[in-house]
């Protein structure tokens, strides 16, 4: 039991999680699996009735599905509100990491102020799987060049047939540069999940990005 609840935190005030924890988690896991299997393809998760701001449905679904007692979770300044921290502790049980370097998962609700990707755990040569997956909430996601007003990322790599264009609004201006450095240390490196509302898209470390 976390300190918040030991001091008498009123859990009745918490927003609910999945309506059906088993079936909804299974459905969300299938969406996440599809996102990592079909890299760069936008997936949509089901709506969640109550989510503490500023989390969106896709970020909340990711956390409810994958975060647990063994996956330290780091929240940026925008996401790290008391209501969000309490909700995640109660529904996921994940301990909160004090710094990006100590996290298995990270949630970024304000990409403009986020740390560069080399601040997150990249894994090791022996255990590249012990890296961080960073969930970044962006302003808009759309498929195909010219289909949005944001930055067009041309994707190549495993899970992509040729190239694929993803239009993203809200990434920091240094994103392409820091992603190239992250890709260069493959098989180490962090994985990304971009979310917007109910939409999510996976960018594993093996993905090459132009733009």
- Domains of the chain (ranges; CATH) run 18-204 (3.40.50.11310)
pLDDT of residue 13: 53
Residue ranges in the chain whose pLDDT is less than 70: 1-16, 19, 145-148
pTM over 0.85: yes
Residue 4 has what pLDDT?
37
Per-residue tokens: 54: 């500023």
**pLDDT for res 148:** 54
Q: What per-residue confidence (pLDDT) applies to 149?
A: 74
Residue 178, classed as helix, strand or coil, is: helix
Q: Would strands 133-137 and 191-196 be described as parallel, antiparallel, or unpaired? A: parallel
* pLDDT attached to residue 189: 98
Distance CA 157, CA 30 (A): 22
Q: Can you count the helices (H) and strands (E) in the chain?
A: 5, 10
The upper half-sphere exposure of residue 111, i.e. CA atoms within 13 Å in the direction of its Cβ, equals: 20
Query: pLDDT at position 155, please?
Result: 97
Strand order in the sheet with 105-108: 43-44, 199-203, 191-196, 133-137, 105-108, 73-75
Distance CA 193, CA 56 (A): 13
Residue 211 tokens read as 């733009």
How far apart are the C-alpha atoms of 201 and 148, rounded to whole Å?
16
């Amino acid at each position: 039991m976390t300190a918040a609840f030991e001091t008498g935190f009123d859990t009745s005030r918490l927003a609910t999680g999945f309506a059906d924890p088993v079936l909804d988690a299974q459905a969300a896991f299938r969406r996440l699996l599809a996102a990592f299997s079909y890299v760069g393809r936008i997936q949509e998760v089901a709506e969640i009735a109550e989510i503490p701001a500023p989390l969106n449905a896709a970020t909340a679904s990711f956390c409810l599905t994958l975060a647990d007692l063994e996956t330290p979770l780091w929240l940026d300044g925008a996401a790290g509100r008391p209501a969000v921290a309490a909700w995640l502790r109660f529904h996921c049980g994940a301990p909160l990491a004090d710094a990006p370097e100590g996290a298995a998962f990270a949630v970024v609700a304000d990409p403009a102020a986020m740390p560069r990707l080399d601040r997150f755990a990249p894994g090791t040569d022996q255990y590249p799987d012990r890296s961080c997956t960073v969930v970044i909430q962006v302003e808009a996601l759309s498929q195909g060049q010219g289909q949005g007003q944001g930055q067009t990322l041309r994707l190549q790599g495993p899970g992509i047939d040729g190239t694929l264009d993803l239009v993203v609004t809200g990434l920091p201006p240094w994103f392409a540069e820091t992603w190239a450095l992250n890709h260069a240390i493959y098989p180490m490196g962090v994985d990304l999940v971009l979310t917007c509302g109910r939409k999510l898209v996976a960018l594993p470390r093996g993905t090459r990005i132009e733009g």
